[in-house]
Structure 1
Amino acid sequence: MAKEEDHRKKLHIAMFPWLAFGHMIPYLELAKLIAQKGHQISFISTPRNIERLPKLPPNLSPLIKFIKLPLPHVANLPEYVEATADATERQVVLLYKAFDGLQEPITRFLESSKPDWLLFDYAACWLSNAARNLGISSAFFSIFIAAGLGFLSSKSPGDRVSPEDFMVRPKWVPFPSTVAFRRFEILRIFNMLIEVHNGVSVLKRLVEAMRSCDIIAVRSCWKFETEWLRLLEDLHQKPVIPVGQLPPMPFLDEDEIDKWRSIKQWLEQQQKSSVVYVAFGSEAKLSQHELTQLALGLELSELPFLWILRNESSDSDPVQLPTGFEERTRRRGLVCMGWASQKKILAHDSVGIFLSHSGWSSVVEALQLSKALVLLTVSNDQGLNAKVLEEKMVGYVIPRDENDGSFTKDAVAESLKLVMLKEEGKVYRDKAKEMSLVFGDRDLQDRYVDNFLGYLETHK
């Protein structure tokens, strides 16, 4: 009888992230944490995206079922484009149109499988109403942190019509905060944010997702974003539940183990806490000028560095390292093309600081391992993330021209030396260690997932 009762308590949860790896990966991490508790997950995406996701640990494979929905054909969108990483800026608009074409097949799947809960992303703002009509509860699961959601929240998204409107603290934020975009940050994404993509702008999708769902689940925790989480509750008048920071589970397949061995061999030859680790995630793309200044800044700093450089051959305009850079720095620097295990690299004793785009998955990995942050934002919500980290003295932002975002090799070199070596950078090194007590506390993060599941179990 007890076993039967335990079985009845297990949930079936469907997940549907936006077609970007910066969204799919956190969704998958949450799926793995939920599956560890014995619940069943249906993870919905397109075939090519599912094939490119990290492999599951064998013990979780029976509990996470991948549902492959072919992406509808859209004129001028190449067949291989199934994620933002595959797309040019113009093609992203078409990707939204194709994504919206999944509404009918995913509704049919929900109707036939009848999950207890649906976790959906902002782009699928239309899905919560379909779920409600089928008697399925829905949660908007935001991979954006609470500060980003709070900054972008608005009952009337049409109120903000110019870049300047996104460069100041919104009127609905009642506490002091510097969280806002810099001019060059908002100019890079302004059209994407407010222009209509297949009838709905990104900002309107986000606001509608928060309005239409039953609850809002946020990749955050109370100890880090207390004021912003409370603000979201006040603004939206519904439960706002942090699910923790979702630090990735360590799991490497054989190919990744082989690549890690060669990187580890190089790291073993470096002094403790001496290496600058440089990586900009799977999708952030630097311009040729930015990459050149970054490389020359690394060279000028004279610090040891490990640079994981993703310069895909499929890029329409691939960038190149400065002529002779690798030869000049080979005694103290290593450039690796393609993917590498970031968690393994950051965990190594020789890594001292992390130069990053402030994508939140990278931030989480760094802070759980006490690595100080030097930040160079590229796009999307990274500017808001960087402001939060700067406010809390957790990350140092490389100085840039506020209008065009340009920076110099000297700014890069001085920023790295400040955080790595100088007395005035000690606060960033100390804060990173302090934050590891939150971001790196597996028991604490596990309790957030338990609390979230407790709500889902009692309100299905």
Structure 2
Amino acid sequence: MAETHDSLHVVMLPWLAFGHMMPYLELAKLMAGKGHRISFLSSPGNIDRLPKPPSDLASLISFVKLPLPAVEQLPEGAGATSDLPYDKIQFLKKAYDMLQEPVARFLESSDPDWIMYDFAPYWAGPISSRLGIRSVFFSITTAASLGFLGPTWASKGGDYRKTPEDFTKRPNWVPFPTSVAYRHFEIEKIFDAVSRNASGVTDLYRWGAGQECCDIIAVRSSYEVEPEWLSLLKDILAKPIFPVGQLPPSNPEMRGETDSWRSIKEWLDVQKKCTVVYVAFGSEAKPSQTELTEIALGLELSGLPFFWVLKTQLGSADTESVVLPDGFEERVRGRGMVWDSWVPQLKILAHDSVGWFLTHAGWSSVVEALSFGRALILFTFLADQGLNARLLEERQIGYPIPRNESDGSVTRQSVSESLSLVMVEEKGRVYREKAKEMRPIFGDKNVQERYVNNLLNYLKEQRPVKHLKSKGITI
């Protein structure tokens, strides 16, 4: 796809988590497909691990490697959150903040029309403003999550919410009834995002400062799914709000054509249609040993077929690896398979034998599952997953496994009963039907196209005057 005379040059600066980089890359491909040039900035290791764009877009998407400075307590070679246990991610943020100067130099030399940046590089807005470059704060979270975080003044320190309990209720600025809030065990686990961490800047402050300095806010959302939350964002953030759609993956992972996929497919092929529960908790969530034991024994107790992608360690710095119960794999052999390395998730979800997804409620996984109409059973771990789970539960799209409110513990009985409810019982029919109803909403390419076109039209209309002149375009 060739560049046209009115094409844009957009720099993308996502946070160093694959759950952030992949939606940015998906949007990059959609924009490049319309002739726009993208510079995608990340650490060298991440760029090497990201899937390569289709050949027809390769000339329009440039990957720019920004080496991370060495930081004490950040393991060498760790370039993404998936390389680290949760308590080490604060040091990754510290290293990331040291990229301000390299990012400024790149922006100055490449002179793009726009920069799209994530919550973590809250400093990108002031840099781009100083250089006369327009900016988009692009949130890969749902509109509900963004609405729950609240107005800029709240995120930057004026929030009345000071304790974990405060985050378990509907915020004052949300005028409609909703259950979207954290459960106590969810916010307790990530309360450093609100209080403090080694980077010296809270995550909440990053969100607020990033939104304050941008020209517009883009959200991975759609009016078909979150109309009331998108309307709220317009009211509380006082910036133009652009939903960019759900960004379902445009093509299955190319590296799926491997011996691994052939083995997985052989196993799935012999299972009955729509009977297998796919179990996966994303790239940076790992169950505790107690959780792992109860989930495993719950799967065994259910008697249902399952395919489980199990992460037992988060990078070399993770000293607390977890193990399956003794004899588990032998006892479930034939009806259950445990896989301990990368899998082509999209191909698995697309397979006819898969009907259900036991997931951490990370939004990328939710989008992929609902694109195929797969019913959701929810078990949250970190970040915005709790807020996503409430949104899905509220709309009866996903069913959360019951857990202890104070510590999040789970029993094998609740795992087994939740699977049976969603997969088999009449009481769970609503979750199965809602998932099928969501398929055209999450997977419709025309709807996705409309949102991207709307954003691009605005970016072209509002590009800085200096760029129009430099490209020989009259105003």
CA contact (8 A) 1:115 1:136 kept: yes
Q: Deviations over 1:329-371 (max 9, x none)?
A: 0121111111111111111111111000000000000101000
Partner in structure 2 of residue 156 of structure 1: 154
Paired residue for 1:267?
268
Q: Residue deviations 1:39-60, cap 9 Å, x none?
A: 1100001111111112222222
Q: CA deviation at 1:101?
A: 0.5
For the Cα contact (< 8 Å) 1:389–1:395, is it kept in 2? yes
Amino acid at match of 1:92: I
Distance 1:378 1:305, change over 3 A: same
Q: Which residue of 2 aligns with 1:177?
A: 178
Matched, 1:411 2:414: yes
Residue in structure 2 matched with residue 429 of structure 1 by the alignment = 432
Distance (Å, rounded) in 2 between the aligned partners of 1:443 and 1:341: 25
In the other structure, the counterpart of 2:126 is: 129
Alignment partner of 1:30 is 2:27: yes
| Aligned residue in 2 for 1:56 | 53
Q: Is the 8 A contact 1:275 1:304 kept in 2?
A: yes
CA contact (8 A) 2:137 2:218 kept: yes
Structure 1 residues 433 and 11: CA distance shift in structure 2, 3 A: same
Where 1:223 maps in the other structure, the secondary structure is coil
- After TM superposition, the score normalised by the length of structure 1 is 0.97
Correspondent of 2:328 among 307, 325, 328: 325
Query: Residue in 2 aligned with 1:78?
Result: 75
Pair 1:216-2:213 in alignment: no
Asked whether the equivalents of residues 4 and 35 of structure 2 are also in contact (C-alpha less than 8 Å), the reply is no
Q: 1:10 maps to which residue?
A: 7
Asked if the contact 2:114–2:135 (Cα under 8 Å) also holds between the matched residues in 1, the reply is yes
CA–CA distance in 2 between the matches of 1:243 and 1:264? 33
* Distance in 2 (alpha carbons) for counterparts of 1:107 and 1:256: 39
How many residues align? The count is: 457
Shift of residue 293, structure 1, vs aligned partner: 0.5
- Aligned position for 1:245: 246
Q: Distance in 2 between matches of 1:229 and 1:144?
A: 12
**Is the contact made by 1:310 and 1:339 (CA closer than 8 Å) also made in structure 2?**
no
Question: Residues 91-120 of structure 1, C-alpha deviation per residue, up to 9 Å, x if partnerless?
Answer: 222211111100011001000101111000
8 A contact 2:401–2:418 mirrored in 1: yes
- Within 2, Cα distance between the matches of 1:239 and 1:77? 37
CA distance in 2, matches of 1:256, 1:96: 34
1:360 to 355, 363, 372: 363
Q: Indicate the residue corresponding to 2:116 in structure 1.
A: 119
Paired position in structure 2 for 1:381: 384
The answer (yes or no) to whether the contact 2:256–2:343 under 8 Å persists in 1 is no
Report the Cα distance in structure 2 between the residues aligned to 1:88 and 1:342, rounded to whole angstroms: 22
> Is the 1:119–1:139 contact (alpha carbons within 8 Å) kept by the matching residues of 2?
yes
Q: Give how far 1:310 is off.
A: 2.4
Q: Larger deviation: 248-257 or 148-157? A: 248-257
Give the match for residue 458 of structure 1.
461
Shift in alpha-carbon separation, 1:407–1:90, aligned structure 2, 3 A? closer
Indicate conservation of the 8 Å contact 2:11/2:112, yes or no. Answer: yes
Residues 429 and 255 of structure 1: CA distance in aligned 2, closer, same or farther (over 3 Å):
closer
CA–CA distance in structure 2, aligned partners of residues 268 and 92 of structure 1: 39
Percent of aligned pairs sharing the same letter: 57
CA distance in 1, matches of 2:27, 2:72: 34
1:258 Cα deviation from its structure 2 partner: 2.8
Higher deviation after alignment, 65-74 or 79-88: 79-88
SS at match of 2:173: coil
Alignment of 1:345 with 2:348, yes or no, is: yes
Q: Which amino acid aligns with 2:64?
A: I
CA distance in structure 2 between the aligned counterparts of 1:23 and 1:191, rounded to whole angstroms: 20
User: How far has the Cα of 1:438 moved from its partner?
Assistant: 0.4
Higher deviation after alignment, 388-397 or 328-337: 328-337
Give 2:472's aligned residue. none
**1:192 offset after TM fit, Å?**
2.9
SS across alignment from 1:67: strand
User: 1:25 deviation in Å?
Assistant: 1.2
TM-score by length of 2: 0.94
Distance 1:46 1:34 in 2: 22
Secondary structure class of the residue paired with 1:321: coil
Match of 1:222, SS state, is coil
* Deviation string, structure 1 residues 432-451 (Cα, Å, up to 9, x no partner): 01111200111111111111
**Equivalents in 2 of 1:147, 1:427: separation in Å?**
22
> What is the letter of the counterpart of residue 402 of structure 1?
E
Aligned to 2:294: 293
The worse-fitting range, judged by mean Cα deviation, of 167-176 and 67-76 is 67-76
363, 369, 374: which one aligns with 1:371: 374
Q: Distance in 2 between matches of 1:427 and 1:117?
A: 43
Query: What's the secondary structure of 1:173's corresponding residue?
Result: coil
Partners of 2:56 and 2:339 lie apart in 1 by 31
Could you tell me which amino acid in structure 2 is paired with residue 392 of structure 1? R
Cα deviation, residue 80, structure 1: 1.2
8 Å Cα contact 2:348-2:354 kept in structure 1:
yes
Unaligned runs of 5+ in 1: none
Runs of 4+ aligned structure 1 residues displaced above 6 Å come to none
Cα root mean square deviation, aligned = 1.5
Match of 1:307 in 2: 308
Q: Deviations over 1:206-225 (max 9, x none)?
A: 01111111000000001100
